[in-house]
Amino acid sequence: MRTITIDPITRLEGHGKIDIFLNQDGEVENAYFQVPELRGFEKFCEGRPVEELPSIVTKICGVCPGCHHMASGKAVDAVFGVEPTATAKKIRELFYMAHFVHSHIAHFYALAAPDFVVGPTADPAERNILGVIAKVGLEIGTEVIKQRRIAQEIQALIGGHQTHVVMNIPGGVKKGITPEQRDDIVKKAEGFVEFSKFSIQLFKDVVLGNKDYVDLILNGPYSLVLHSMGLVDNNNLVNFYDGKVRVVDTKGNELYKYSAGEYIDYVEERVEPWSYLKFPYLKKIGWKGFIDGQDSSVYQATPLSRLNAADGMATPIAQKEYEFMYETLGGKPVHATLAMHWARLVELIYSAEHCLELAKDPDIIGKDLRTPLEKIVGEGVGVVEAQRGTLTHHYWTDDKGMVKKVNLIVGTTNNNAAICMSIKKAAQGLIKKGVEVNEGTLNMIEMAFRAYDPCFSCATHSLPGQMRMILNVRDEEGNILQSTKRE
Amino acid sequence: MSAEQTNPKPKLKLAVYWGSACGGCCVSVLDTHEKLLDIVAAADPVFWPIALDIKYKDVEAMPDQSIDLTLFNGAVRNSENKHIAELLRKKTKILVAYGSCAYMGGIPGLANFSGKSEVFERAYVETESTKNPERIFPVTEYPVKEGTLKLPEFFNDVLPLNKVVDVDYYIPGCPPQSERLIEVFTAIVSGAQLPPPGSVVGANDKTNCDECKRTKSENKTIDRFYRPWEIQDDKETCFLEQGVICMGPATRGGCGVRCVEGNSPCRGCYGPPPGASDPGAKMMSAIGTMINADKPEEIDEIIETIVDPAGLFYRFSLPGSILGRKVQ
Amino acid sequence: MDFRPKIVAFLCNWCAYTGADLAGTSRLHYAPNIRIIRIMCSGRIEPTFILKAFQQGADGVLVCGCHPGDCHYQEGNYKCLRRFKLLQKFTQQMGIEKDRLRLEWISASEGKQFAELVNDMTKTLLSMGPSKVKSSLEVEHLNV
């Protein structure tokens, strides 16, 4: 069987590789997405004092460290049997909204925009942030860098360190916000709202105004019909920091709704010998294989899943955009993988609006930062939405609060099986007998992967965005039959 | 026309690669924000998996020493990390161990408290949400119907970069502060005289205490140590004087003491100060001296309050420390 | 197997080293497994010295100083004791067995006690086997 290997996968956070196997007819027999890395946080956190974990687990990911810090902070609160003070909770959430703003901006402009603003099969030399800027103007490029920087500054102010934050302590946070700082954050958050409105308008003008793109989103070889997972508040509206986990099926009907501590009854993980990353699935259905459809136990936890699993958004502008998106795409739930980019923009608006709401809340400058601690319960679960999926931290400690065990289910991990299937589907849809594999093909396989995009899309800033790739098609002996290069 | 205009200076070829990493060091390059445009004006990124679609094959095809500067972040955890470290050493003039992981092992280095089999057992069998009764583990070669799938070998030990290749410079930090990166980069681009190979750059020569704004007194004897949540931090006094262990005295300065500004005690990510190769040993010496007791039983009682010495004093440096790992 | 434990000993100049000298001038027989390093005061001992000894293959490390109250520099031995106890907690966390790292006070007149100490420690290490600090390091086995 002929093999196409892509190693390493690029333009995302983390290591990965893809093997595509072609049969005699040159059609895709199977495709495997392998994750070649493992570090062992679930082991080496053992023996640490539990209050140190929020600062250790940020190092799981340097792009979404805030997410781990929040999930961990909540788990540690639960280990001590406390809730944070009202001020502390709002400070955490304010930080968290800034964190989402920075990440979603970076992602949209660097990752999504080139494929849509410039075009999925456009000349690779232009299909990058530079091409985007050429089309929409240098002003916007500079504005993207600036907004991202401002969001990072808010994170640093509240979180201590701008990347690996240190703010959480059992029962609250270590540092408060002064009235002057608050006034400054309010101004900045107003800027976020404006910029996020601008971003979604850009998307509407350039993408929705183009029939081919709409067709690609709805009918391209990417859609997987899977169940959707996301956190929702008491009104079943999207919330990133707190709430219950809600899972809806492929038709949008609620399957489960559970609180953080119950996750273990609903999610199970599978091991395959060809990947270091585990494969979560819905426990009550049981593993049915790498299939999609109503009977599958595979689910997705992405911005689109969050919007599918909820009944709406908790802030007004985001809610309007939520309704508009579903109207345009033909109702809920939406399974078109590329619509994740749109959902991300709706979330960007919500993050900006909620950031502003929290900054204006009088509690935010409160001085009561820590709930007193009285006991050690010895077990705690913290669940938040990371930018790329539902994030679960579960800790067990002894009676002195020293960690005995840790169990983690990380955002992107939720999507491992779905990513495998997306890649296989895209490869099967795009590589066909008799059709020459060219640069456009390569990019479109990447797009299947990129929509989930773990964290990163670094081309936020002007790098030479040429997506160079070499595709070698080999026969059984390993001789190269066809080589396509994209410079 | 000036000489520069007729003969523009060639751009530096720059590579940024990650071993067993979190991506934070790559983010630190981006967090130069507007200054990144200056960096890109002076340097051509030629290999950067997070950002560019250059594959391993492309690096193998590059002539030796054709990359001017490689920032290698992340620790060496598996055979792929080692292989690419060796490959990049061949292709690079100046190889920098960028960030705590490449410098001394970093947070992934905490895995050196166990070994491969314990990590695998926990990750793939014991974890409470994992269902794996057949005890399937990832393997380096796995035959499937269509062919063979390969994975890198997971080493028993985490290694800092300098245990597999010669390293020219170290830039410490988790991640290194972006302003420090700009300073180092500017120095290289300007052709300034570089310090001797093996030096730590992008950091200063004193400990964090020198830049810390908290008030310090001469009185540094401790009757007992406290975990951060056991006290109400007054937000002004040195943490150690309040009984909370802070790694500031044994940590090289250069980070701007950001964690302490956030009211969180330093955990030592910038590594040991000049003259000390093992940060934990120095800290143990200092802490030991501070204990305010002479009788063995009283000393024992105070030491009881230091709950995780190895994990605290070697939070970022276990693989690069004198012992290197827990005995197996 | 012909295992001969290697003990690295740090002895303070004023008491412990003199005591060891006395053992020698008294022609007392004791195990030859010990390698002595003389330092001016047990308070000079840093964890670095002890860790390096283990790293380089010592099966056991012995620290000896003046009895409490007798330190030539008044307080050095108290500092040594505090550091030593913290270091012991650390080395045990690192999997080095408690009996491999030992501290005893030896005065200048305690030649006999010194000899007995060395014999006792050698015997203990013989039963424990060699230290695995070096052999645990994989980098020794990776061809780098």
Q: Pick the more confident residue, A124 or B321.
A: B321
Average pLDDT of the residues in A301-321: 97
pTM tops 0.80, yes or no: yes
Residue in A3, A47, A274 closest to B308 by CB: A47
Say whether residue C66 is in contact with chain B using an 8 A CB cutoff.
Answer: no
Strands (E), A250-326: 254-258, 267-270, 279-282, 299-300
**Residues, chain A:** 487
Query: pLDDT class for B310, splitting at 50, 70, 90?
Result: very high
Question: Across the interface, do C138 and B157 touch by the CB < 8 Å criterion?
Answer: yes
User: In the predicted model, what is the mean pLDDT of residues A373-380?
Assistant: 96
- How far is residue B263's CA from residue B238's CA, in Å, rounded to a whole number? 10
All residues of chain C having their beta carbon less than 8 Å from the beta carbon of residue B313 are: 90
Query: Is the pLDDT reported for residue A465 higher than 60?
Result: no
Residue A424 has pLDDT above 70, yes or no: yes
**Sorting pLDDT into bands at 50, 70 and 90, what band is A51?**
very high
Pick from B36, B113, B146: CB nearest A47: B113
Q: Chains with 3 or more CB pairs closer than 8 angstroms to B? A: A, C
Q: What is the pLDDT of residue A407?
A: 96
Give the mean model confidence (pLDDT) for residues C110-118: 97
- Is residue A151 predicted with pLDDT exceeding 50? yes
Q: Give the mean model confidence (pLDDT) for residues B195-222.
A: 93
What is the b/e burial string over C54-67, where b = at least 16 CB atoms within 10 angstroms of the residue's CB?
bbeebbbbbbbbbe
Query: Over 60: is that where the pLDDT of B192 sits?
Result: yes
The confidence band for A477, taking pLDDT boundaries of 50, 70 and 90, is low
Tell me: the pLDDT tens digits for A165-194?
999 999 999 999 999 999 999 999 999 999
- 3-state percent helix, strand, coil for chain B, nearest multiple of 5: 35, 20, 45
Q: Which chains touch A (3 or more CB pairs under 8 A)?
A: B
Helix A316-329, helix A340-360: angle, nearest 10: 170
pLDDT of residue B101: 97
* DSSP β-bridge partners for residue A145: none
What contacts A180, CB < 8 A, 6 or more positions away?
none
Say which residue, B195 or A468, is predicted with more confidence.
Answer: B195
Whether the Cβ atoms of residue A485 and residue A470 lie closer than 8 Å to each other = yes
pLDDT surpassing 80 at residue A469 = no
Q: What distance in Å separates the CA atoms of residue A422 and residue A415, rounded to the nearest whole number?
A: 10
CA distances to A200, A316, A394, B281 from A205, rounded to whole Å, are 9, 21, 44, 61
Residue B4: per-residue pLDDT: 43
Query: How is residue A112 annotated by DSSP?
Result: I
- Average pLDDT over every residue of B179-198: 91
Q: What is the model's pLDDT at position B8?
A: 65
B3: confidence class by pLDDT, cuts 50, 70, 90: very low
Report whether pLDDT(A30) > 70: yes
| Interface touch B124/A463, C-beta < 8 Å | no
Q: Averaged over C40-49, what is the pLDDT?
A: 95
Residue B233 has pLDDT above 70, yes or no: yes
SS3 A101: helix
Question: Residue A157 has what pLDDT?
Answer: 94
Least confident of A153-157, A326-330, A466-470, B278-282: A466-470
B325 contact residues in C (CB cutoff 8 A): 136-137
CA distance B77 to chain A (A): 8
Inform me whether the pLDDT recorded for A199 exceeds 90.
yes
Nearest-by-Cβ selection for A267 from B22, B123, B129 = B129
Residue A234 has pLDDT above 80, yes or no: yes
Residues in chain C: 144
* A177 burial level (CB within 10 Å; 0-12, 13-18, 19+): buried
Task: Check A461 against B30: CB less than 8 A apart.
Answer: yes
Query: Percent of chain A beyond pLDDT 90?
Result: 61
Fold of the CATH domain A83-216+340-368: Cytochrome-c3 Hydrogenase; chain B (1.10.645)
CB distance from C73 to chain B under 8 Å? no
Note whether B323 contacts C55, CB cutoff 8 Å.
Answer: yes
- Do C136 and B327 make contact, defined as CB atoms within 8 angstroms? yes
pLDDT in tens, B283-304: 999 999 899 999 999 999 999 9
Distance of residue C91 Cα from the nearest chain B Cα, in angstroms:
8
Nearest CA in chain A to B141: A274
pLDDT above 50 (res A458): no
Contacts of C132-138 spanning 24+ positions with Cβ under 8 A: C132/B327, C132/B328, C132/C95, C133/B323, C133/B327, C133/C54, C133/C55, C133/C57, C133/C96, C134/C55, C134/C56, C134/C57, C136/B324, C136/B325, C136/B326, C136/B327, C136/B328, C136/C95, C137/B157, C137/B324, C137/B325, C138/B155, C138/B156, C138/B157
Q: Which residues of C touch B327 (CB under 8 A)?
A: 94-96, 131-133, 136
Contact B156 C55 (CB under 8 A): no
User: Which residue is closest to C83 within chain B, CA to CA?
Assistant: B288
Question: Could you give the C-alpha distances from B203 to B200, B238, B259, B319, in angstroms and in order?
Answer: 7, 22, 16, 21
The answer to whether the CB atoms of C136 and B299 lie below 8 A apart is no
When pLDDT is averaged across residues B50-59 and rounded to a whole number, the result is 80
Q: C81 is written with which tokens? A: 């004791």
Q: Which residue of B has its CA nearest to A110?
A: B51
Interface check A330 vs B, CB under 8 A: no
How high is the pLDDT of residue A468? 41
Q: Do B228 and A51 touch (CB under 8 A)?
A: yes
Q: Are C78 and C12 in contact (CB under 8 A)?
A: no
Q: What is the mean pLDDT of residues B83-93?
A: 97
pLDDT band at B5 (very low <50, low <70, confident <90, very high): very low
Q: When comparing pLDDT for B219 and A133, which is higher?
A: B219
Which domains does chain B carry? Answer: 3-108+158-200 (3.40.50.700), 111-155 (no CATH), 208-313 (no CATH)
Mean pLDDT of chain A: 88
Select from B151, B208, B308 the residue whose CB has the most chain A CBs within 10 Å, as the one to mutate to test that interface.
B151
Q: Stretch B56-75: mean pLDDT, rounded?
A: 94
Taking CB atoms and an 8 Å cutoff, what residues of chain C touch B111? none
**Among A7, A29, A402, whose Cβ lies nearest the Cβ of B307?**
A402
Identify the pLDDT of residue B27: 87
Total beta-carbon pairs less than 8 A apart between chain A and chain B: 269
Domain boundaries, chain A: 2-36+430-486, 83-216+340-368
Q: What is the mean pLDDT of chain C?
A: 94
Which region among A288-297, A309-318, B219-228 has the lowest average model confidence (pLDDT)?
B219-228
Phi, psi (rounded to 5 degrees) for C45: -70, 125
Beta bridge pairs of residue A30:
A21
A156 reaches B (C-beta below 8 A): yes
Structure tokens at A60: 């799981």
pLDDT in tens, A294-303: 999 999 999 9
Sign of CA dihedral C89, C93, C97, C100: negative
Work out the widest C-alpha separation in chain B, in whole angstroms.
Answer: 80
- Tell me: the pLDDT tens digits for A253-299? 999 999 999 999 999 999 999 999 999 999 999 999 999 999 999 99
Tell me the residue type at A185: I
Per-residue pLDDT, B32: 86
Residues of B in contact with C8 (CB under 8 A): none
Neighbours of chain C (3+ CB pairs under 8 A): B
Which ranges of chain B does DSSP label H, i.e. alpha helix? 3-6, 24-30, 35-42, 56-61, 79-91, 100-104, 116-121, 178-189, 258-261, 279-290, 296-304, 309-313
pLDDT at residue A479 in the model: 64
Measured from the Cβ of residue A433, the count of other Cβ atoms closer than 10 Å reads 10
Mutate to test the interface with B, among C61, C77, C94 (most CBs of B within 10 A): C94
pLDDT band with cut points at 50, 70 and 90 for residue A482: low
Query: Which domains does chain C possess?
Result: 7-140 (3.40.50)
The CA distance from A270 to A367, in Å, is 46
Confidence (pLDDT) at B318 = 97
Q: What are the residues facing A463 on neighbouring strands?
A: none
CA proximity to C128, closest of C90, C101, C105: C101
Asked if B325 and C137 come within 8 Å (Cβ–Cβ), the reply is yes
- Cα–Cα nearest to A148, from A91, A99, A185: A99
A143 lies within 8 A of chain B by CB: no
Predicted confidence band of residue A31 (pLDDT cuts 50, 70, 90)? confident
Q: CA dihedral defined by A90, A91, A92, A95, rounded to 10 degrees? A: 120
Quickly list DSSP for B226-282: B-GGGS---SSB-TGGGTB---GGGSBS-S-SHHHHTT-----TT-PPTT-S-HHHH
Asked if A14's CB is within 8 angstroms of B138's CB, the reply is: no
Residue A121 has pLDDT above 80, yes or no: no
Reported as a pLDDT band with limits 50, 70 and 90, residue A473 is low
How many angstroms separate the CA of residue A271 from the nearest CA in chain B? 6
pLDDT of residue B280: 93
Judging contacts by C-beta atoms under 8 Å, the chain B residues touching residue C132 are 327-328
**A11 at B interface, C-beta within 8 A:** yes
Number of CB pairs < 8 Å for B and C?
103
pLDDT higher than 50, residue B182: yes
| d(CA C23, nearest CA chain B) in Å | 27
Handedness of CA B246, B251, B253, B256 (dihedral sign): negative
In A, which residues are within 8 Å of B229 by CB distance? 51, 80, 169-171, 373
Contact C85 B288 (CB under 8 A): yes
Chain C residues close to B82, C-beta within 8 Å = 142
B189 or A51, greater pLDDT: A51
pLDDT at A240 over 50: yes
In this structure, what DSSP letter does residue A331 have? S
pLDDT 10s digits, B103-156: 999 999 999 999 999 999 999 999 999 999 999 999 999 999 999 999 999 999
**Chain B CB within 8 Å of residue C84 CB:** yes
Judge contact between A300 and A415, C-beta under 8 A: yes
Beta bridge partners of A403: A397
Residue B37, φ and ψ in degrees, nearest 5: -60, -35
Cβ contacts of B281 on chain C, cutoff 8 Å: 46-48, 51
Q: Is the pLDDT of residue A485 over 50?
A: yes
Partners of residue B129 in chain A, C-beta under 8 Å: 263-264, 267-269, 280, 407, 409
More confident residue, A275 or A128: A275
pLDDT tier at B31, thresholds 50, 70, 90: confident
Q: CB distance C55–B163 less than 8 Å?
A: no
Beta bridge partners of residue B170, listed in sequence order: B97, B200
pLDDT digits 0-9 by tens, A67-94? 999 999 999 999 999 999 999 999 999 9
Distance from CA of A201 to the nearest CA of B (A): 25
Residue contact C51–B326, C-beta within 8 A: no
Predicted confidence band of residue C124 (pLDDT cuts 50, 70, 90): very high
A66 conformational bin, left if phi > 0, alpha if psi -120 to 50, beta if neither: alpha
**Angle, alpha carbons A326-A455-B174 (nearest 5°):** 150
